[in-house]
Amino acid sequence: MTRTGERAVKSRLRTPTWIARIEAPDGVVLGAGVLLAPDRVLTAGHVVTPGTRYAVRLVGVPGQGAVTATVRPDEHVPEREDAFGDRSGDLALLRLAEPLPAEHTTRLYRLASPHGPVSMYGFPAGDDGGRWHGATLVAARGRDSRVQLRPLTPGELAAPGFSGGGVVDHATDQVIGIVLSVDEGQVSAFSQMSPTETILSHLPQAAAWTDGASAVDPRLRGRAANGAGRLDVPFATELAGWFRGEGWPVLVTVAPARGDRAFTLERAVTLADRELRTRRNTSAFSHDPPETVPPAGAHDLALDVRQLTAEQVMDRIAERLGIRDDPRPERLATLRVPLAAVLVGVEQSAEPDALLALLDRLARHGARLLLVHRRQGGRAAQAAESLVHRPLRERWSRLGAQLDRIIDELGPAL
């Protein structure tokens, strides 16, 4: 068992001090929350309503009394349909009338491609002390990029008392989101998690209590957020298709640092990011052709690789994936969800040949790569040949050989 796995198991043997139980004035348990600061508790939006007083208790701190809490309208994000018709929001930050000891707080953590085993803490009916439930992160859904939580057993389905509870990733032992709701189907049932970056897109003030690297390099932000540019529709459609998982997993393209293609690239990267995709920019782009709009959470990393070594690029990828002990491309094979990375300025890296070799290894281990060169030329052609054209020829050759064998075996019967 790994050290991180041991920490995760040990954490389930106790009640963390940051677990908050949220009660109505009459004492009825409404849900759970996460103590992020001495006077702030994060929870689901449907648990609380502005203008109402609540009681917050830290059930993992013996002797700690309840504290009165309220939520302001500007820190309450009700669930709503966004500009593209998908559910979003359902988040709130409670303010406590009296601060609680700072040592009981925790922090949120950004983690790309949430996957694998997690634990969530909540308060099912009849259990005011709360309990851990185990789950597996399955896949993101919807444009708000909520993540499905599949219970390990039918008895571990997140009941309403889990709403707002923190979700702890076993691999990193970090709080990577909160429970939102429970969906029940005819065959299976699952709950939903709002991951940290989605929380930050709705409540940016929570960044003060958040760790982990952001997905998008600061050098790739700016123009798209301000709407300062003209959309290249064919290029935007090509990018959105790649972000949706269509076509060959590696896309090699050219986008100069300025101009319509640069704006179109930054727009796609922004809309495909959980944290940067906001109600404001989805509204600003709501009149664009729908085929040009990528889904939220469609990339794990967007990095300007100018002057970066291959090792620095791999370190940044490992940081986003929560890989701490062994940052090698081969580790990608253990992930349930393939890496999706956007690398810009590939030919301007400090080690173009070493970077291309790294990208080839990543692609062979299932990574989806959007490789943007700033100018046409030999480097872009070399990347396209190594990562697109040659692998496609090899695949067609294998398929042709298999077809020949099938024909040979069936020949007498035809």
Structure confidence by residue, pLDDT tens digits, 3-60: 333 344 445 557 899 999 999 988 899 999 999 999 999 999 999 999 999 999 999 9
pLDDT given for residue 323 in this prediction = 75
Assigned CATH for 4-211: 2.40.10.120
- 189 against 389, higher pLDDT: 389
pLDDT band at 378 (very low <50, low <70, confident <90, very high): confident
Structure confidence by residue, pLDDT tens digits, 99-109: 999 999 999 99
Structure confidence by residue, pLDDT tens digits, 304-337: 999 999 999 998 998 888 776 666 666 565 555 5
For CATH 2.40.10.120, the residue range(s) in the chain are 4-211
The highest-level CATH class for domain 218-395 is: alpha beta
Structure confidence by residue, pLDDT tens digits, 45-89: 999 999 999 999 999 999 899 999 999 999 999 988 766 667 788
Question: Which of 134-148, 158-172, 345-359, 394-408 has the lowest average pLDDT?
Answer: 134-148
pLDDT given for residue 3 in this prediction = 34
Confidence check: pLDDT of 175 > 80: yes
Across the range 172-187, mean pLDDT stands at 77
pLDDT given for residue 243 in this prediction = 95
The per-residue pLDDT of the chain, averaged, comes to 85
Question: Which of 133-142, 174-183, 194-203, 224-233 has the lowest average pLDDT?
Answer: 224-233
Paired tokens of 36: 């992020």
The C-alpha angle with vertex 74 and arms to 72 and 79, in degrees rounded to 5, equals 100
